Amino acid sequence: MRVILRDITKKFGTFVAVDNLNLNIHDGEFVALLGPSGCGKSTTLLMLAGIYKPDKGKIIFGNKNVTHELPKDRNVGMCFQNYALYPHMTVFENIAFPLKLRKMPRDIIEKKVNQIARKFHLDSLLNRRPSEISGGQQQRVALARALVKEPKILLLDEPLSNLDSGLRISMRAEIKKLQKDLGITTVFVTHDQTEALSMCDKIAVMNKGTLQDFDTPEKLYSQPKNQFIAEFIGNPPMNFLDVVCIREGDKVYLKGTSFKIELPERAKREFAQIQNGEKVILGIRPENLKLTSEGQNTVKGEIYVVEPLGRDKLVNVKIGTNRIKVIAPQDYNGNMGENVFVRLDMDKIHLFSSEDGNSLRMSA
């Protein structure tokens, strides 16, 4: 089912939790609402569920305006962060609860519960209580309960945050596979950009109640529209350096406190609007940097600290007053305090306005 949020605003007193939000979610899409705590993502989800009412705007499911409909009339399934299972009920009774509220015949309830339990590999646990099963199993019970009533829309409020890292990775794959198998429109709230990037078709990045961008994970990662998105999407986050644009004849340079590098032709076209002498912010991801010997497009720095990460190392390099992160091979043996040269892949750089943080790329 298609979901449209049109000019949605929600206030709590004088605090604006969501400000003029517009989203168009296609039928069957898996969409993440991503952002830091307090950005408005959970408030948006609760408005979709009907628990909160917007102060302004419309919520449309399919072709129907559901802005003022009660939660029970919206045909949505919701899975909460803490699973919200009834501790005194068995797994069977927890899954069956929404069907009992609809006063379905017992034989129909048993059939539906057994079917969904098999899909979630819970059929051997139906007589246990939540306290007698693991966190991952509890999460599957919560998902089964949300889906047993065959909702048109599935709403997930950080359902993985209470799981350990290993189980979280396996459940990411399970939820993604389930969503694709069912083809159900799903809205997923998370503050974890890895979850959003790996699971979802599109991501709505939010900050301070406003939508920063709504696009595919690939586009948000490779062409962020502003510095906030560039820093929030990606792990490790993008590096930033303060530079000044210098135009000398047909050449364009970026000058920092201790370096000066030339823009290649492609970057000159992409950032043609930048004026001579303009202060901008240079952004580049750690994987687009390389520790090397002195040469073209290199910047001299000093190793601040080296963080072994198993398959590779994260080298923190101090350049003037800035620190940047560089991904190095596992066998890299640099030490703290050593001077190094960092080569930038100039085809992968980003430039942002030092005034509002917006991308200065012509096509952005």
The enclosing domain of 168 has a CATH number of 3.40.50.300
Domain boundary among 232, 253, 278: 232
**Domain CATH number, residue 298:** 2.40.50.140
- Same domain (yes/no): 186, 108: yes
| 127, pLDDT greater than 80 | yes
Tell me whether residue 361 is in a domain: no
- Res. 84: pLDDT tops 90: no
In the structure encoding, which two tokens stand for residue 174, read together? 């399970």
Torsion angles phi and psi, residue 115, rounded to 5: -65, -50
In the predicted model, is pLDDT for residue 230 greater than 80?
yes
**Tell me, what DSSP letter sits at residue 264?**
P
Domain match, 173 and 125 both: yes
Contact indicator for 295, 342 with CB cutoff of 8 Å: no
Cβ–Cβ < 8 Å for 348, 288:
yes
Query: What distances in angstroms separate CA 100 from CA 104, 107, 108, 113, 354, one per listed residue?
Result: 6, 11, 10, 11, 58
Other beta carbons within 10 angstroms of residue 117's beta carbon come to: 21
Task: Clarify whether residues 265 and 317 are in a common domain.
Answer: yes
pLDDT band for position 320 (cuts 50, 70, 90): confident
Classify residue 362: in a domain, yes or no: no
DSSP state of 348: G
Query: Do 201 and 140 sit in the same domain of this protein?
Result: yes
Whether residue 105 is preceded by a cis peptide bond, meaning omega within 30 degrees of 0, is: no
CA dist 148 → 97, 110, 151, 236, 291 (Å)? 10, 11, 8, 39, 54
pLDDT value for 296: 82
**Closest Cα partner for 351 from 239, 235, 218, 203?**
239
In a 13 Å sphere around the CA of 193, the CA atoms on its Cβ side amount to 19
User: Does residue 359 form part of some domain?
Assistant: no
pLDDT of residue 363: 62
Evaluate whether residue 81 is within a structural domain. yes
Given 209, 232, 255, which residue is the final one in a domain? 232
Does 270 lie in the same domain as 227? no
Give the whole-angstrom CA distance, residue 314 versus residue 49: 42
Whether 364 maps to a domain, the answer reads no
Pairing of strands 260-262, 339-344: unpaired
Total domains present in the chain: 2
Co-location of 217 and 254 in the same domain: no
Q: Which residues face 202 on adjacent strands?
A: 31
* Band of residue 351 on the pLDDT scale cut at 50, 70, 90: very high
CA distance linking residue 95 with residue 31, whole number of Å: 25
Same domain, 175 and 247: no
- Arithmetic mean of pLDDT over the chain: 93
Q: Is residue 185 part of a domain?
A: yes
Contact 178, 143 (CB under 8 A): yes
Residue 211 is given by DSSP the state E
What's the pLDDT score for residue 240?
Answer: 96
Residue 154 lies in a domain: yes
Task: Look at residues 206, 232, 258 and tell me which one is the last residue of a structural domain.
Answer: 232
Residues 35 and 65 grouped into a single domain: yes
* Structural domain that includes position 270: 239-353
Residue closest to 120 by CA, chosen among 162, 163, 91: 91
Do 204 and 317 belong together in one domain?
Answer: no
Please report which confidence band the pLDDT of residue 139 belongs to, taking 50, 70 and 90 as the band edges. Answer: confident
Nearest to 30 by CA among 191, 207, 235, 197: 197
Sequence-ordered alpha helix ranges (H) in 156-264: 165-182, 193-199, 217-222, 227-232
Measured CA angle at 1 (ends 94, 158), to 5 deg: 50
Residue 360 lies in a domain: no
Indicate whether 90 and 15 sit together in one domain: yes
Biggest alpha carbon–alpha carbon distance for the chain: 82
Same structural domain, 314 and 332: yes
Q: Are residues 128 and 11 in the same domain?
A: yes
